[in-house]
Amino acid sequence: MTNTFSLICQNGRQFCLKRQGQASQKIKEKIPQMERNTYTIIRGIQEVSRFDRVFGRSGNLGEKACAYHIDSALSKPGVFSYVSQKTPMAACSPRAVLGSCYLPHPDKEETGGEDAHFICIDEHAIGVADGVGGWAELGVDSGQYARELMSNSVTAIQEEPKGSVDPARVLEKAHFSTKAKGSSTACIIALTEQGLHAINLGDSGFIVIRDGCTVFRSPVQQHDFNFTYQLESGNGGDLPSSGQVFTIPVAPGDVVIAGTDGLFDNLYNNEVIAVVVHATRASLGPQVTAQKIAALARQRAQDKNRQTPFSTAAQDAGIRYYGGKLDDITVVVSYITSYSNSVKDTTVCALIVLDMDETVGVVFVGYRSSNSSWL
């Protein structure tokens, strides 16, 4: 414990002197009190988004490393609080911090639109589906099919071996179980120690962004222009086996953007990348990033004077068309993180400064194992 305290104090001093300005002397005087006034605050396990909300930081701890309820720490002004938990972690296990945004077509807000998606936090899996709008001419809401397909996908994922989700098998089971009328595209992605495993059928899809560049984009599957591959209940439509299966290596810092054609019909890759780069530099979480991407896609969809991926594809097919395509828009953002070392005895901790001129600030936060330094 003494070594841990010394490390925390050392990093805390550096942070305080650098960031706190006039308060630095006050903080330096209080650091020696830490060992006397330390207490632990742990109340169970929660997802990393809780960690982000408390500390305003993401990326180092993964999804279920620890949970903090800081409120009780605020009851003792002037005291440094040490928060810790020893947590078993797999060697170099990748983790995903996830967020999403859905904007239904303005004319379909009352029915919820025809897109659907899911996020399985524990299994690091996501999925998007786009109900085919042509069914409306037959009085069928294909959004019901898309939502049931995604719900059945979640059920199938929960039946998969822990850490070994097979998206192709999941989609096969979900398609077999979905009985609603209609049809839909589908894209399911799971993060494992081997990287991303994914299946995509139709014109939904995903891209992987690394260091401001697209390192992978799933191809669009269409029978013809604006005639996408689609799953349908019964014997109609395409089969899950027609979907394309991918295994893609990923690294910490990668950002995965999954979405329906409402996203990819309206934004070019470089436009999505620009939002992601700005968001990561500003330390925005995946939820806010998804909202910003969706908002820009909606803006482009309503612009009749701008070239878009959809208008480019239409022109390539010999159709005179310009501007965006108004549609449901689904965006799911995954920030890829990982633990740096194989750790069986990892201490997660935070040093909190209370009552600094009525300001509460986090001085240092991170985790440490016997074979690693603080991150």
Lowest mean pLDDT segment, chosen from 22-36, 57-71, 95-109: 57-71
Cut 0.75: pTM above it: no
- Name which of 143-152, 219-228, 273-282, 344-353 the model is least confident about: 344-353
Q: Nearest 5 degrees, angle CA 55-CA 59-CA 61?
A: 75
Q: Which two tokens stand for residue 258?
A: 């999954």
- Residues 6 or more apart whose CB falls under 8 angstroms from that of 142 comprise 114, 131, 132, 133, 134, 135, 136, 181, 182, 183, 184
Whether 297 shows a pLDDT value over 80: the answer reads: yes
Torsion sign over Cα 15, 18, 20, 26: positive
Number of Cα atoms under 13 Å in the Cβ half of residue 318 = 1
Question: Using 50, 70 and 90 to split pLDDT, how confident is the model at 92?
Answer: low
Q: How far is CA 145 from CA 48, 180, 268, in A?
A: 32, 5, 28
Angle between helices 142-158 and 167-177 (to 10 degrees): 130
Q: Are 250 and 96 in contact (CB under 8 A)?
A: no
The Cα 323–Cα 305 span in angstroms is 5
Ordered by where they begin, the domains of the chain are 94-338 (3.60.40.10)
- Structure confidence at residue 98 (pLDDT): 96
